[in-house]
């Protein structure tokens, strides 16, 4: 486990640079989750470290495989200086612990909801999980372990989350694209969903 996390942190540093802050959260009955902050100009990125220590297990599986199964870490990018986004550390750790706590398999297209604003006065309580392979390349591990995927999180307003449940992730992403939505704006309003 420690070896996997050392490799994951090295990959994060390769993709995002040196972290300028880190915090750790431990929930009862779970492994420690760290959140690293990377600042790149006017963009701040928060990445989890610890979610990939164990493979995610399908809750319907009769037996949990300690080696095989999808592994992931979460990455959130926001514009700096517009909101107190450093308060997102705990909600991000909650999301990263959800595979251990709730038996969730976090995959692209999924919605994750923390039930409260992601940071003070944030118009978002949930995120859409996007495809990996962008900012941070997937990390191949020795067989038979699955690679670690670095999944971007796209904050959603409650209206967007409800619309996504009906129309799907691809339709919401298309809406954002055609509207020129700045998904890194921590104060943005909901895209037009008419």
pLDDT at 186 over 70: yes
Strand 71-79 versus strand 148-156 pairing type: parallel
CA 180 to chain centre: 22
Mean pLDDT of the 15-42 span = 91
Q: How confident is the model at residue 129 (pLDDT cuts 50, 70, 90)?
A: very high
Mean pLDDT, the chain, as a whole number? Answer: 92
Mean pLDDT of the 108-119 span = 95
pLDDT at 61 over 80: no
pLDDT at site 141:
93
Q: How confident is the model at residue 2 (pLDDT cuts 50, 70, 90)?
A: low
**Quick one: what percent of the chain has pLDDT higher than 90?**
80
Q: How many residues does the chain have?
A: 194
- The dihedral of CA 168, 173, 179, 181: what is its sign? positive
Q: How confident is the model at residue 1 (pLDDT cuts 50, 70, 90)?
A: low
pLDDT at 103 over 60: yes
- The dihedral of CA 12, 13, 15, 17: what is its sign? positive
pTM: 0.94
pLDDT at 68 over 80: yes
Mean pLDDT of the 164-186 span = 96
- The dihedral of CA 86, 92, 97, 101: what is its sign? positive
Stretch among 57-66, 68-77, 118-127, 161-170 having the lowest mean pLDDT: 57-66
pLDDT at 66 over 60: yes
């Amino acid at each position: 486990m420690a070896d996997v996390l050392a490799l994951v942190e090295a990959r994060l540093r390769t993709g995002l640079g040196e972290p300028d802050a880190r915090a750790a959260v431990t929930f009862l009955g779970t492994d420690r989750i760290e959140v690293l902050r990377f600042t790149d100009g006017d963009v701040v990125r928060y990445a989890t470290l610890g979610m990939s220590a164990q493979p995610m297990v399908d809750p319907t599986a009769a037996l949990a495989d300690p080696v095989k199964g999808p592994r992931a870490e979460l990455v959130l990018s926001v514009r700096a200086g517009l909101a107190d986004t450093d308060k997102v550390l705990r909600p991000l750790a909650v999301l990263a612990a959800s595979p251990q706590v709730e038996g969730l398999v976090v995959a692209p297209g999924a919605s994750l909801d923390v039930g409260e604003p992601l940071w003070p006065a944030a118009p978002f309580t949930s995120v859409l999980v996007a495809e990996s392979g962008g900012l941070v390349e997937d990390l191949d591990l020795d067989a038979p372990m699955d690679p670690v995927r670095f999944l971007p999180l796209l904050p959603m307003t409650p209206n967007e989350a409800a619309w996504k449940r009906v129309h799907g992730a691809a339709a919401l992403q298309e809406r954002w694209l055609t509207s020129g939505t700045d998904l890194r704006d921590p104060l943005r309003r909901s895209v037009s969903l008419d």
